[in-house]
Every structure is written in structure tokens, then in C-alpha cells.
């Protein structure tokens, strides 16, 4: 089967095998443009022309982990650490609600200072603001923590698997094992969280076959959301001298994921935007339908550096949202006004929104 036939076949519901996914990832022009167009059409058909804006509060840069690619790793002594007070987090969420946000993502390093009870307090506080979805992204925790937070009203959980290649995963995460991460993901699914995972492109020694395996893992897990972005070296890590991932491969991985997991929420990740200012625009033409904007004040943002990035001019939450709404409309897209819950099993419902 050539690439054109393969893409048409996948659009009609066929799930490709690992070699076929690798074939797509290794494509060159004009086949690549055909893949990108097909992915964009699938996004329009299954997710509509709307882009969801999620507000993310990076509330602590303390982390007990030693991920080899991350500037927040526990060994990085150069980094000034911060923690936001639970009341302050709820206050920022309220401002975001007033600015039009209907999803708040609570993200931090793995910081056990935020006990089960503290996170419960934050979730419940945000839930009193209005009909707002709460997504947690706080790493590997006990099953009982996950269970309690779901009961408190958390809707979604993001836990990227980063790479499904066991050898590579264990080398990059000396403090933990891939089995643990996979176990946590299945627990989150069992607890009925809308679950997100994802992976990085351009890790040292990663091959297109590894990326194909990553996409198949997302399919097996049947995720509701997937974050895919390039590896970007950070000076405070052991991988500081490695080259960044290529955005061409990141876009192909995004597009192929859209072809296979048709209703998945796919953000134009900030790492992708970091490599190339046009990254978001490109990502939205190959299947992305979500963008995340930081909400915490700049004094914290500058210290939440998983990979190095630029920080624009200081603005307030409302102004920043307006700017991104204008950007979305300039691409001929619409801004979603609802919570943007999982689209799985609701393929036709968006037309009635």
C-alpha cells in the first residue's frame, strides 16, 4: 500500500501497524502534505473548527524526581524554588473564570508538600467558582490520592509517558520505572478520569519506530488527550548538550496521532511553540485543537522552566486570553466557549453545541 492509500484507509477507521506508522513518520513531500491535510480534515470532522483554550496554573516548581531532560529536576541547585499558597491558586482560578476560562489545569513538579488534603482543598475551592473542569498534572501519586481527588471533583488527569521504550525511559528517569508510570495511567483510567498522556520527540537514541510505538500506546490506552512536543535541552540538566528535537517530526507525529485517535484533544504544546514562533499556526493545520495558556503571575512563570523559553511582555489574564482569541480567529478558527470535555463517543454532538 502506498502512503496515499494508507492515509485514506486510516481515515476510514483502519488502525495501522507499527511498520505502517513508521512509514508515515518517514514520509517526505508531497506525501507529508497529504498526511497533514488529511489530519486537518479529520480534526474538522471529529472535533469541529473550534480551538479550546485551557488555563494552566504551574503552582510549584519543587520536584522529587530526576528526569534527565527537565530543568526542574531535584538535582538542579541553581533554580530558585517556589510554592503557591492554596488560597492564591484558587484566587488565580477565579480570575481565569472571569476571563472566560472553563478548564483549569493544575500542574506542578512531584511535590509532596501538597498533601492529599491540600490538593483536595484546592479542587473543592475551584469547583465552587462555577462549572469549570479541573485537570490535574501532578505526577505519580498513590491510588488513594487519585481516588480522593476524583471524588472531590477533579475531571481530568495528565500524565505523559514520555517514551514507551523501556530502556530509554529508565535511563531518562533514574528515580522510577516505566512500569510505575503505566500502572498509574491504568489506575487513572479505572477511576474514570478523562486521561491524557503523551511523549517527546528527539530524545537521544530515539528512533521513528519508538515514536510509532508511542502512538500505538496512546491508542491502546484510549486517551482523551495527548501532549506531543519536541525535546528541548536545558542547561540545568545532563542532556544540556544534546540537540533539540526536530519540529518537522513533531508535526508528523501530531498529524499521525490525529489520523489514528480521531477525537483526541491535541494541544499545540508550548515546546513546539518554543522551537518555532509559527509552531502554533502549523500545529493547528495538522490536527491540533487545544492551546494552553499560563495563568500564574510572571514572578512564578520565569521559575517554571522545564525547558528554556522566552517570556513575552507582562500582561494580565484577561488581556492574554484576548490576544490568543484574536490569534485563533485570524486563522479562520473559532474559540470554544465550553469546558471542552472528552469527545470520545460524542463524534456528532459538537454540531449541536
Applying CB under 6 A, which part among 64-72, 92-100, 294-302, 339-347 lies near ligand SF4? Answer: 64-72
Kindly state whether residue 72 participates in binding ligand SF4, applying the rule CB under 6 A.
yes
- 175 burial type by CB count under 10 A (0-12 exposed, 13-18 middle, 19+ buried): middle
Applying CB under 6 A, which part among 30-38, 62-70, 217-225, 287-295 lies near ligand SF4? Answer: 62-70
CB of 260 vs ligand SF4, minimal distance in Å: 26
> CA of 98: how far to CAs of 88, 132, 301, in Å?
16, 11, 21
Dig out the grid coordinates for 209 from the structure. Answer: 519506530
Binding mask 296-335 for ligand SF4 (x = CB under 6 A): ----------x-----------------------------
Q: Assess contact for 257 and 211: CB atoms under 8 A.
A: no
If the CB atoms of residues 69 and 97 are measured against ligand SF4, the closer one turns out to be: 69
If the CB atoms of residues 227 and 279 are measured against ligand SF4, the closer one turns out to be: 227
If the CB atoms of residues 73 and 289 are measured against ligand SF4, the closer one turns out to be: 73
If the CB atoms of residues 232 and 306 are measured against ligand SF4, the closer one turns out to be: 306
Binding mask 90-129 for ligand SF4 (x = CB under 6 A): -------------------xx-------------------
If the CB atoms of residues 65 and 184 are measured against ligand SF4, the closer one turns out to be: 65
Q: How far is Cα 210 from Cα 214, in angstroms, rounded to an integer?
A: 6
Contact pick of 21, 25, 51, 70 for ligand SF4 (by CB under 6 A): 70
Could you tell me if residue 130 is left (phi over 0), alpha (psi between -120 and 50 degrees) or otherwise beta? left
Going by the DSSP 8-state scheme, the letter that residue 18 receives in this structure is H
Size of the site for ligand SF4 (CB under 6 A): 10
Handedness of CA 271, 290, 100, 131 (dihedral sign): negative
Kindly state whether residue 272 participates in binding ligand SF4, applying the rule CB under 6 A.
no
Kindly state whether residue 53 participates in binding ligand SF4, applying the rule CB under 6 A.
no
If the CB atoms of residues 73 and 165 are measured against ligand SF4, the closer one turns out to be: 73
Kindly state whether residue 255 participates in binding ligand SF4, applying the rule CB under 6 A.
no
If the CB atoms of residues 234 and 265 are measured against ligand SF4, the closer one turns out to be: 234
The crossing angle, in degrees rounded to 10, of helices 178-190 and 208-221 is 30
Binding mask 138-157 for ligand SF4 (x = CB under 6 A): -x------------------
Contact residues for 72 (Cβ-Cβ < 8 A; gap 6+): 61, 63, 79, 109, 304, 305, 306
If the CB atoms of residues 202 and 287 are measured against ligand SF4, the closer one turns out to be: 202
> CA of 65: how far to CAs of 112, 118, 133, 143, 212, in Å?
11, 20, 27, 19, 27
CB of 205 vs ligand SF4, minimal distance in Å: 19
Exposure b/e, 223-254, CB count within 10 A at least 16 = b: bbbbbbbbbbbbebbebeebeebebebbbbbb
What are the residues binding ligand SF4 (CB under 6 A)?
63, 65, 67, 70, 72-73, 109-110, 139, 306
Amino acid at each position: 500500500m502506498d502512503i496515499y492509500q494508507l492515509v485514506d484507509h486510516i481515515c476510514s477507521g483502519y488502525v495501522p501497524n507499527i511498520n505502517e506508522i513508521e512509514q508515515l513518520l518517514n514520509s517526505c513531500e508531497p506525501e507529508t502534505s497529504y498526511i497533514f491535510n488529511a489530519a486537518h480534515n479529520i480534526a474538522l470532522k471529529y472535533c469541529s473548527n473550534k480551538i479550546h483554550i485551557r488555563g494552566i496554573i504551574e503552582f510549584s516548581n519543587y520536584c522529587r524526581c530526576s528526569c534527565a531532560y527537565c530543568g526542574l529536576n531535584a538535582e538542579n541547585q541553581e533554580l530558585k524554588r517556589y510554592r503557591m499558597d492554596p488560597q492564591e491558586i484558587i484566587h488565580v482560578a477565579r480570575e481565569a473564570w472571569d476571563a472566560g476560562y472553563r478548564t483549569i489545569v493544575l500542574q506542578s513538579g512531584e511535590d509532596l508538600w501538597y498533601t492529599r488534603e491540600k490538593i483536595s482543598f484546592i479542587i473543592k475551592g475551584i469547583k465552587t467558582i462555577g462549572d469549570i473542569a479541573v485537570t490535574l498534572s501532578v505526577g505519580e501519586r498513590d491510588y488513594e490520592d487519585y481516588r480522593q481527588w476524583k471524588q472531590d471533583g477533579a475531571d481530568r488527569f495528565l500524565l505523559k509517558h514520555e517514551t514507551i521504550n523501556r530502556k530509554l525511559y529508565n535511563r531518562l528517569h533514574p528515580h522510577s520505572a516505566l512500569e510505575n508510570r503505566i500502572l498509574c495511567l491504568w489506575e487513572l483510567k479505572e477511576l474514570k478520569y478523562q486521561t491524557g498522556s503523551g511523549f517527546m520527540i528527539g530524545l537521544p537514541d530515539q528512533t521513528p519506530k519508538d515514536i510509532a510505538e508511542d502512538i500505538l500506546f496512546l491508542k491502546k490506552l484510549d486517551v482523551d488527550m495527548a501532549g506531543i512536543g519536541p525535546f528541548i535541552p536545558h542547561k540545568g540538566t545532563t542532556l544540556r548538550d544534546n540537540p533539540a528535537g526536530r519540529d518537522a517530526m513533531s508535526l508528523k507525529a501530531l498529524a499521525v496521532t490525529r489520523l489514528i485517535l480521531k477525537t483526541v484533544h491535541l494541544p499545540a504544546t508550548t515546546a513546539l511553540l518554543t522551537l518555532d514562533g509559527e509552531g502554533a499556526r502549523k500545529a493547528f493545520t495538522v490536527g491540533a485543537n487545544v492551546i494552553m495558556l499560563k495563568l500564574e503571575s510572571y514572578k512564578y512563570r520565569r521559575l517554571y522552566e522545564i525547558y528554556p523559553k522566552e517570556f513575552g511582555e507582562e500582561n494580565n489574564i484577561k488581556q492574554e486570553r484576548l490576544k490568543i482569541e484574536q490569534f485563533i480567529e485570524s486563522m479562520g478558527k473559532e474559540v470554544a466557549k465550553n469546558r471542552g470535555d472528552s469527545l470520545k463517543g460524542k463524534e456528532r454532538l459538537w454540531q449541536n453545541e
